[in-house]
């Protein structure tokens, strides 16, 4: 079995001749690849880790890493990047895992209000304390916008809000709906700096309470409110629409429902921004991420997004791909997360820490070298004749 | 039969209560709709025009207009806008026209090199004299970019070239391929102002000769050349790729071929811009336009473009919708075209003049009120790690 891993490392080393890395086994023996000091050492503390990786590909790797049957010292992301190299792409899940995956995909076809609530709770109700540890002060858990001069993540998150506000051409007094409003960062920013009023929707109890407190603390209760409801339950008419990092949870069986609701919420000619992780071509989400991090998650291709919006008479005016911005955001989160290793291990357990560490670094690597993208799509509900002729207003 | 037209006018008048217009029959009788002086008068000089419109919808209207069985004084575009109002949308082609349309769609499935050449000749080999009459000095027959301060179409066409050059991040010495290079405007601009070298492909003999002369006259023969070849015959490797207003002729059966060729022509990580008319959702081209103006034409939906590019590992980084820019460009062309009415009628015939007048105004109206869009799509061949983080460089 270890022969398979060695062969993969040899093949990858041949395609990355400048990189050095090492493999260490439970008996202390080591193999070195490449010309210099290893940038990482992958240690198998047990033969079962090897079996897991060889037989169950990325799912086995993830589970073995979380259990501690394998460990990585040094540049974790260089190892994770191997997932996008040919010899690893050719590895397959075992039959059992495949069956389990098919069952979970079938389950997703019923991403109804109840299941959506449960899926959201799985991820977002880990506790505000947990997210406050490593998110920045704005409590924003989505891709930042690293505009020139944004040294800190907090600035980059506010730059993201500003960028979206400009794409929405927000005017004081306008009504904005935020589907998947998280801890309320977007609504706070838009109310404070652009004078809008609006409603945010979240399914997370923890986020709901946080956003309520936040709006009260900032004296914005008369302008913005948050509701603990599913997007399908949203009502009313708004001048502007925004959804940031929520579409990933909708599920492809519900794309049409989401877009029909978007159209219903917007006045004719109203403008919206959909900010979502996506991909260039259709594919399922990584099975390890789906099982442990985002149950019910599905990442749309740009083609699926454009077709779905076109069918619903949502007219796309602008698409920006912020792939490298999410990679940098995730690098920043991983760094901040790792700084709190001790406390997270103590309060949530070592397995949890390792699971989230893998998720954060794995996602960064997937934006850098893999198949995932971040699309910011600006659209109008039907045609709008007074659109700005150029996008220069985003950059002044 | 005239009752049907009157009923449609009454219904549209009810949805546009501020607009006034009139209908005049061959016996001199008139009906007025709306509160004031008519913005246009539609005159049927013959009952056969009425029959054509009622039985054969947009195809019948176009043919009757070209023959002169109907005429329009005043605001032509207001009348053409009726095509996007409900009562007219419900009109259908007759059985004969439908059959003819199906046959032409089947024919398009073979948009091979020979047919492509014939289709191109139909439109672009009308004679350089003809296009020189009403295009601007840059001889650009595609959507201009009406940047702030572009008063004249010539400036707006150069602004378009500059906008695309910035999207391509052209650097002196780079190699650029231009698929469907027309009369050579893009290559001339990119060579002169950005120091690239490159090759343009066209299937039009007239364009080929014009571009050759142009490059010689400007002393650019050592940098850029034009070839009278199909895109499928293009060879070589280029740093950058551009295609402006040519994809409309590819045909949906050949999208994959086009994108595979695009990938083949670009170095890994090379950047391209695809500038094409498109739509929000899949549909066939207007049957009158297809029959008389663009045989073999098909306008892609954004979904089809994104899916096709994604499949081929062309990674979309930016999409800009320039719908209103094309409307303004067409308004400008129509005005310039009409200025030469006498000469065009004399040299190419009254029918030709009316056909093209309908095509130019009809297209303007379809961008303003109908289903067509202009997409500028920036993409890279595979992932590129040194992308600019923002699009600010397009606007400095």
Q: Give the nearest partner residue to B317 out of A301, A307, A321, using CB atoms.
A: A321
CB contact under 8 A, A389 and B146: yes
pLDDT at B163 over 80: yes
Confidence of residue B124 (pLDDT cuts 50, 70, 90): confident
Residue B236 confidence (pLDDT) = 98
CB contact under 8 A, A321 and B321: no
Across A236-245, average pLDDT = 98
Interface-testing mutation among A383, A387, A394, A396, with chain B (most B C-beta atoms within 10 A): A383
Q: Which two tokens stand for residue B245?
A: 């207003």
Confidence of residue A395 (pLDDT cuts 50, 70, 90): very high
CB contact under 8 A, A306 and B311: no
Model pLDDT for residues B16-73, shown as the tens digit of each residue: 999 999 999 999 999 999 999 999 999 999 899 999 999 998 899 999 999 999 999 9
Smallest CA-to-CA distance from B345 within B356, B360, B358 is with B356
CB contact under 8 A, B324 and A385: yes
Q: What chain B residue is nearest to A323 in terms of C-alpha separation?
A: B317
Residues A25 and A61 sit within 8 Å (Cβ to Cβ): no
A320: chain B residues, CB-CB within 8 Å: 318, 391
Mapped to the 3 state alphabet, what secondary structure does chain B carry?
Answer: CHHHHHHHHHHHHHHCCCCCEEEECCCCCEEEECCCCCCEEEEECCHHHHHHHHHHHHHHHHHHHHHCCEEEEECHHHHHHHHHCHHHHCCCCCHHHHHHHHHHHHHHCCCCHHHHHHHHHHHHCCCHHHHHHHCCCCCCCCCCCCCCCCCCHHHHHHHHHHHHHHHHCCCCCCEEEEECCCCCHHHHHHHHHHCCEEEEEECCHHHHHHHHHHHHHCCCCCCEEEEECCHHHCCCCEEEEEEECCHHHCCHHHHHHHHHHHHHHEEEEEEEEEEEEEECCCCCCCHHHHHHCCCCCCCCEHHHHHHHHHHCCEEEEEEEECHHHHHHHHHHHHHHHHHCHHHHHHHHCHHHHHHHHHHHHHHHHHHHHCCEEEEEEEEEECCCCCCCCCCHHHCC
Residues A184 and A214 sit within 8 Å (Cβ to Cβ): yes
pLDDT at B330 over 90: yes
CB contact under 8 A, B373 and A148: no
Residue B94 confidence (pLDDT) = 77
pLDDT at B101 over 90: no
State how beta strands A175-179 and A238-244 pair: parallel
Across A201-217, average pLDDT = 97
CB contact under 8 A, B148 and A390: yes
Q: What percent of chain B has pLDDT over 70?
A: 100
**Within 13 Å and on the Cβ side, how many CA atoms surround B185?**
25
Model pLDDT for residues A341-360, shown as the tens digit of each residue: 999 999 999 999 999 999 99
Model pLDDT for residues A106-120, shown as the tens digit of each residue: 777 677 887 777 777
Determine the distance in angstroms separating the CA of B229 from the nearest CA of chain A, rounded to an integer: 31
- Phi-psi bin for A271: left (phi > 0), alpha (psi -120 to 50), beta? beta
- In angstroms, the CA A383 to CA A193 distance is 28
pLDDT at A96 over 90: no
* Chain B interface with A: residues with Cβ < 8 Å: 145-148, 279-282, 301-311, 313-321, 323-325, 368-369, 373, 383, 385, 387, 389-392, 394-396
B315: chain A residues, CB-CB within 8 Å: 280, 321, 373
pTM of the model: 0.96
Determine the distance in angstroms separating the CA of A281 from the nearest CA of chain B, rounded to an integer: 5
B373: chain A residues, CB-CB within 8 Å: 315
pLDDT at A201 over 90: yes
CA A93 to chain centre: 23
For the A111-394 domain, the top CATH level (class) is alpha beta
- Of residues A319 and A287, which shows the higher confidence score? A319
B280: chain A residues, CB-CB within 8 Å: 306, 309-310, 313-316
Q: Which two tokens stand for residue B98?
A: 């439908």
Q: How many CB atoms lie within 10 A of CB B125?
A: 15
CB contact under 8 A, B310 and A394: no
Determine the distance in angstroms separating the CA of B390 from the nearest CA of chain A, rounded to an integer: 7
CB contact under 8 A, B319 and A319: yes
Residue A20 confidence (pLDDT) = 97
pLDDT at A138 over 80: yes
Confidence of residue B97 (pLDDT cuts 50, 70, 90): confident
CB contact under 8 A, A318 and B321: yes
Confidence of residue B123 (pLDDT cuts 50, 70, 90): confident
At the topology level, CATH places domain A2-92 in: Nonspecific Lipid-transfer Protein; Chain A (3.30.1050)
- Number of A/B CB contacts below 8 angstroms equals 117
Confidence of residue B89 (pLDDT cuts 50, 70, 90): confident
CB contact under 8 A, A321 and B315: yes
pLDDT at A185 over 90: yes
Q: Give the nearest partner residue to B307 out of A301, A316, A324, using CB atoms.
A: A301
Smallest CA-to-CA distance from A359 within A307, A301, A293 is with A293
CB contact under 8 A, B310 and A303: yes
What is the residue extent of each domain of chain B? 2-92, 110-394
Q: What chain B residue is nearest to A147 in terms of C-alpha separation?
A: B390
Smallest CA-to-CA distance from B145 within B373, B333, B323, B325 is with B325
Q: Report chain A's mean pLDDT, rounded to a whole number.
A: 94
Residue B63 confidence (pLDDT) = 95
CB contact under 8 A, B303 and A310: yes
**What are the b/e assignments for B309-326, b being 16+ CB within 10 Å?**
bbbbbbbbbbbbbbbbbb
Q: What chain B residue is nearest to A324 in terms of C-alpha separation?
A: B389
* Burial class of residue B90, CB neighbours in 10 A (0-12, 13-18, 19+): exposed
Across A131-152, average pLDDT = 95
Q: Which two tokens stand for residue A94?
A: 């075992």
Model pLDDT for residues A248-292, shown as the tens digit of each residue: 999 999 999 999 999 999 999 999 999 999 999 999 999 899 889
* Chain A interface with B: residues with Cβ < 8 Å: 145-148, 279-282, 301-311, 313-321, 324-325, 368-369, 373, 383, 385, 387, 389-392, 394-396
Residue B93 confidence (pLDDT) = 76
- In angstroms, the CA A135 to CA A138 distance is 8
- In angstroms, the CA B90 to CA B55 distance is 12
Interface-testing mutation among A305, A310, A382, with chain B (most B C-beta atoms within 10 A): A310
* Burial class of residue B52, CB neighbours in 10 A (0-12, 13-18, 19+): buried
For the B110-394 domain, the top CATH level (class) is alpha beta
Determine the distance in angstroms separating the CA of A93 from the nearest CA of chain B, rounded to an integer: 23
CB contact under 8 A, A310 and B281: yes
Q: What chain A residue is nearest to B376 in terms of C-alpha separation?
A: A318
Q: What chain A residue is nearest to B147 in terms of C-alpha separation?
A: A390
Residue B20 confidence (pLDDT) = 97
pLDDT at B361 over 80: yes
Tokens 């069986």 belong to residue: A253
A376: chain B residues, CB-CB within 8 Å: none
B145: chain A residues, CB-CB within 8 Å: 390
Residue A70 confidence (pLDDT) = 95
A146: chain B residues, CB-CB within 8 Å: 389
The torsion angles phi and psi of B195, rounded to 5 degrees, stand at: 65, 25
Mapped to the 3 state alphabet, what secondary structure does A114-177 carry?
Answer: HHHHHHHHHHHCCCHHHHHHHCCCCCCCCCCCCCCCCCCHHHHHHHHHHHHHHHHCCCCCCEEE
Residue B127 confidence (pLDDT) = 85
């Amino acid at each position: 079995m270890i022969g398979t891993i060695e062969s993969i490392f040899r093949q990858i080393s041949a395609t990355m001749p400048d990189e050095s890395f090492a493999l260490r086994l439970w008996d202390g023996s080591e193999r070195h690849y490449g010309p210099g000091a290893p940038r990482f050492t992958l240690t198998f503390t047990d033969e079962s880790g090897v079996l897991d990786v060889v037989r169950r590909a990325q799912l086995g790797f993830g589970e073995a890493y979380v259990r501690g049957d394998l460990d990585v010292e040094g540049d974790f992301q260089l190892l994770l990047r191997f997932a996008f190299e040919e010899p690893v792409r050719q590895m397959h899940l075992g039959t059992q895992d495949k069956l389990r995956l098919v069952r979970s995909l079938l389950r997703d076809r019923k991403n109804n209000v109840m299941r959506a609530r449960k899926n959201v709770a799985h991820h977002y109700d880990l506790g505000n304390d947990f997210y406050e540890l490593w998110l920045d002060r704005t409590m924003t858990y989505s891709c930042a916008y690293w505009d020139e001069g944004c040294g800190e993540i907090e600035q980059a998150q506010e730059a993201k809000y500003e960028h979206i506000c400009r794409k929405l051409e927000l005017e004081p007094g306008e009504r904005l709906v935020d589907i998947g409003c998280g801890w309320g960062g977007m609504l706070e920013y838009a109310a404070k700096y652009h004078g809008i009023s609006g409603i945010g929707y979240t399914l997370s109890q923890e986020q709901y309470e946080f956003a309520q407190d936040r709006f009260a603390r900032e004296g914005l209760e008369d302008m913005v409110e948050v509701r603990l409801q599913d997007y399908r339950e949203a009502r009313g008419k708004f001048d502007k629409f925004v959804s940031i990092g929520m579409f990933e949870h909708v599920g492809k069986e519900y794309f049409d429902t989401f877009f029909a609701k978007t159209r219903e919420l917007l006045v004719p000619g109203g403008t919206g921004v959909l900010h979502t992780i996506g991909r260039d071509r259709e594919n399922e989400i990584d099975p390890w991420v789906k099982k442990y991090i985002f149950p019910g998650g599905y990442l749309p291709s740009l083609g699926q997004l454009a077709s779905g919006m076109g069918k619903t008479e949502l007219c796309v005016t602008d698409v920006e791909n912020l792939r490298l911005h999410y990679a940098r955001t995730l690098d920043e989160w991983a760094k901040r997360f790792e700084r709190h290793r001790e406390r997270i291990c103590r309060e949530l357990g070592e397995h949890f820490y390792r699971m989230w560490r893998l998720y954060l670094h794995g996602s960064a690597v997937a934006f850098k070298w893999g198949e995932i993208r971040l699309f910011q799509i600006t659209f109008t509900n039907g045609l709008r004749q007074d659109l700005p002729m150029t996008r220069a207003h985003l950059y002044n």
